[in-house]
Chains A and B, each alone.
Chain A
Amino acid sequence: MTRAFAAILITCFGFCAPARAQDVKTEIERYRQMVSEGSPAELFEVEGEALWKKPQGPKQASLEKCDLGLGPGVLKGAYAALPRYFKDADRVMDLETRLLHCMTTLQGRSREEATQRVFGNADRPSEMESLSAYVAAQSRGLKMAPGESHPKEKAAYELGRALYFQRAGPWDFACTSCHGEEGKRIRLQELPVLLKPENARGVVATWPAYRISTSGFITMQWRMNNCYQQMRMPEPAFGSDATVALIHFITVTGKGEVYRGPGNKR
C-alpha cells in the first residue's frame, strides 16, 4: 500500500509540477487581463492631465509648452520617441528627466524643490508619477522608436549596455545577476533578460505602470532606483546620465513594439 502510494507520488512529481507552473502562468495572465480592462492607471492619467495644465513655480507657468521632443506642447507620440537627444540641454533625456527640465526652465522651479519627492506612495502619489502616466498614455498604439542617430544617443546606448554588465557594490551585483539568465524569478515575478529584444519589447510597451500590490504608480526612473537599492548600491541621482543610459539601452533593445501602457504590474 505504502509502495503504491509512493509510486503515484513519484509519477505525479514528474507530471504535475510543470502542469502547475503552467496553471500559475495562465492564471496570472488571466488576472492581468482582468485588471487591464479597468486599470487604476487611468486615474493617474486624469490627475496628470490636471498637473500638466496647472500653473506652478515662481513663473506661475503650466507645462503645456513643454517640448518633449516633437515640439512645444506636442504630447501625441512624444513618449514613444523617448529617450532622445535634446539640443537645448545637450544630453539624452528620458521622460522624467525631460519633465524635470521643463519644471526648472518653464516654471522656474529649483531642481531641489522639483525632485524633493519624485517617488510617491499609495496615500500620496508624486507629481512626476501622475505626469508620466498622462504623457505616456498619449503614445498608446504607437511604435516605440527612441532616438538612435545622434552620437550622444549612441553613447548613451553603449553606456547603458556597459552598466547592465557592471558588477559593483558590497554584493558585487550587476543587472545581469538577476536579469542575465532565462527562467529566473523573484517569488512569482519573472525576471526578463533585457538584453534580448523579445524580452525587452513587452517591458518597454507597458512601463510606466500601476502596481497592484502597492496601489501606486511606478516609473522607469523608480525601477532603476529600486534595482540599485536592491543591489545595495549607492542611490543613483534622479535623471542622472547613468539611469537615463540604462533606460535608453532597454528601450532601444525593445524598440518597434506598439505601446500599450501605462500597464499593470503585480
Chain B
Amino acid sequence: MAGPMKMRATLAGGNTEVRVLMTHPMTTAQSGQPLHFIQNVTVKLNGRAVIEAEVSQAVSRNPVFSFRLKGGAKGDKIEVAWLDNKGESNKIETAVA
C-alpha cells in the first residue's frame, strides 16, 4: 500500500498555491534495485484535469511539488494523483483554504 500524502492549497493574490507531499521510494537505475518511480502526476480542479505532468527518475525520494493555479476560490476541490511505473497509485483531495 502506498504511504501517506499531504497537501495544502491556499489562496494568495488571486491564485491558488498548492504544495503536495508524496511518499515514494523513487528508485533510480543507479541504485541497482528495480526501477520504481512516479511517472504521471495529475491535478484536478473541481473534477476537471488542469495539469498532466510526466515525472522522471531525477525527482527525489518523498517528493514535494508546489505550483500555482490561476484563480480558484475558497472551497474549490483540488485533487492530486500519482501513478508509478509499476502501476501503483495514490491520490489526495483537499479544499482550497
A-to-B contact residues, CB < 8 Å:
37-40, 42-43, 46-47, 50, 122-123, 215
A122 / chain B contacts, CB cutoff of 8 Å: 25, 61
> CA separation between A39 and B23, bound complex, in Å?
11
Beta-carbon contact of B25 and A47 below 8 Å: no
Beta-carbon contact of A43 and B66 below 8 Å: no
> CA separation between A38 and B6, bound complex, in Å?
10
Chain A CB within 8 A of B64 CB: yes
Chain A CB within 8 A of B85 CB: no
Interface residues on B, range: 10 to 19
B-to-A contact residues, CB < 8 Å:
3-6, 19, 21-23, 25, 60-62, 64, 66
Which secondary structure dominates where chain A touches chain B? Answer: loop
B5 / chain A contacts, CB cutoff of 8 Å: 43
Beta-carbon contact of A40 and B21 below 8 Å: yes
B25 / chain A contacts, CB cutoff of 8 Å: 122-123
Beta-carbon contact of B61 and A42 below 8 Å: no
A40 / chain B contacts, CB cutoff of 8 Å: 21, 23, 62, 64
Beta-carbon contact of B21 and A38 below 8 Å: yes
Which residue of chain A lies nearest to B62 when distances are taken between CB atoms in the complex?
A: A40
Which residue of chain B lies nearest to A123 when distances are taken between CB atoms in the complex?
A: B25
Contact partner of B19 (CB less than 8 A), chosen from A37, A46, A215, is: A37
Which residue of chain B lies nearest to A38 when distances are taken between CB atoms in the complex?
A: B64
